[in-house]
């Protein structure tokens, strides 16, 4: 490659998506990650692309909504370019309703969705419609939520980038416009020398079950657990949330307790074998929103960090606004996401 227009440091979902959007628009791109693609939290197994509730609307929720709507076109484009499935599917989400107060709140949020979700719905239905999950009573069903297989998605983005002539390396020089999408390590580096932390890592653990026949079901959100049927005949369950931990990549009794809990709650998983266990640390900015824009410590460079639990759901929107900024100097980043909100 004779020249590089954009260098992206970090090969998680933000870094790879930004790199792909820039390459798709014709830029020459280099991605640098010393551990390789998907080595951090983006190499997990859950992949819930779920919206915030349709109430108390703000810039963050609006941006996430737009990203979720754009996700299908974005990831289908990745699949077309790479020939590799991302595992994307907008199958919706089911949530059991526990009691009269929860029902009343669900009804109010359904009205909010009519006003805010531009044709997508949040509605109350009989659980019998989703009999395969073994639910009873009433449930919330929303048709905006989608699924993604994180590992498959990462592989598809890598293949698409390579097909477009991009470099993906473990070490190399920075050339052109530089974007730092370096996850937990990047947040820690930004915190050094500041009175307040810029952000931190939150460990999560998840499990993957082998269960045939559920791939077309909507995902299930039950008692804080995401239960995601993937297209390949697996079902992912996650995640724990741990602010304190000794080993960032080891699974432990907290995951085993989660597995026992979901077996008791979800009949199709009661006897299903666990075929994989995962642990990793997700980057959470102090603002609790993605951090996008001018790098606060590197003049002329940029940052995209803090995806935490919504990184895959935000990826299409983050890729768009960062490519606009990197390639054209056009800044459409919401005020809630700017680095100064963390300072």
Instruction: List pLDDT tens digits, range 244-263.
Output: 999 999 999 999 999 999 99
Two tokens, residue 305: 């960090």
Measured CA distances, 281 to 39, 256, 268 (Å): 11, 18, 29
pLDDT at 210 over 70: yes
Two tokens, residue 201: 């890592």
Rounded distance between C-alpha atoms, residue 243 and residue 250, angstroms:
14
Rounded distance between C-alpha atoms, residue 51 and residue 310, angstroms:
9
pLDDT in tens, 28-68: 999 999 999 999 999 999 999 999 999 999 999 999 999 99
Query: Average pLDDT for residues 316-333, to the nearest whole number?
Result: 98
Q: Which helix (H) or strand (E) holds 20?
A: helix 13-24
pTM over 0.75: yes
Rounded distance between C-alpha atoms, residue 190 and residue 112, angstroms:
37
2 pLDDT band, cuts 50/70/90, is low
Give me the CATH topology for the region 6-89+146-198+286-342: FAD/NAD(P)-binding domain (3.50.50)
**Cα 242–Cα 35–Cα 293 angle in degrees, nearest 5:** 70
3-state secondary structure of 225: strand
For the chain, give the percent of residues with pLDDT over 90: 96
pLDDT at 88: 97
pLDDT at 224: 95
Mean pLDDT of the chain: 96
pLDDT at 1: 45
Query: Average pLDDT for residues 104-122, to the nearest whole number?
Result: 97
pLDDT at 215: 95
């Amino acid at each position: 490659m004779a020249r590089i227009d954009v260098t992206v440091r970090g090969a998680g979902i933000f870094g790879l998506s930004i790199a792909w959007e820039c390459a798709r628009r014709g830029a020459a791109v280099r991605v640098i990650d010393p551990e390789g693609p998907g080595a951090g939290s983006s190499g997990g197994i859950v992949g819930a692309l779920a919206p915030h509730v349709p109430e108390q609307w703000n810039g963050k929720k609006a941006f996430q909504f737009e990203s979720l709507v754009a996700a299908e076109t974005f990831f289908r484009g990745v699949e077309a370019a790479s020939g590799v499935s991302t595992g994307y599917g907008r199958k919706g989400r089911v949530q059991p309703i526990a009691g009269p107060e929860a029902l009343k709140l669900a009804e109010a949020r359904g009205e909010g969705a009519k006003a805010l979700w531009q044709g997508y719905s949040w509605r109350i239905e009989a659980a019998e419609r989703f009999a395969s999950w073994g639910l009873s009573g009433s449930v919330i069903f929303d048709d905006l939520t989608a699924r993604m297989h994180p590992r498959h998605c990462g592989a598809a983005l890598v293949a698409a980038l390579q097909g477009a002539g991009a470099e993906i390396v473990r070490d190399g020089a920075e050339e052109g416009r530089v974007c730092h999408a370096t996850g937990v390590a990047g947040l820690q580096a930004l915190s050094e020398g500041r009175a307040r932390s810029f952000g931190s890592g939150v460990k999560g653990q998840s499990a993957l079950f082998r269960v045939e026949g559920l791939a077309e079901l909507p995902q299930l959100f039950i008692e804080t657990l995401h239960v995601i049927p993937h297209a390949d005949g697996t079902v992912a369950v996650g995640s724990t949330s741990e602010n304190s931990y000794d080993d960032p990549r080891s699974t432990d009794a907290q995951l085993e307790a989660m597995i026992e809990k979901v077996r008791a709650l979800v009949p199709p998983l009661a006897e299903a074998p666990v075929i994989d266990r995962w642990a990793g640390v997700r980057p959470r900015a102090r603002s609790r929103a993605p951090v996008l824009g001018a790098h606060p410590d590197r003049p002329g460079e940029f940052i995209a960090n803090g995806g935490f639990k919504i990184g895959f759901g935000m990826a299409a929107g983050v890729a768009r606004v960062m490519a606009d900024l990197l390639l054209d100097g056009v800044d459409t980043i919401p005020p809630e996401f700017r680095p100064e909100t963390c300072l």
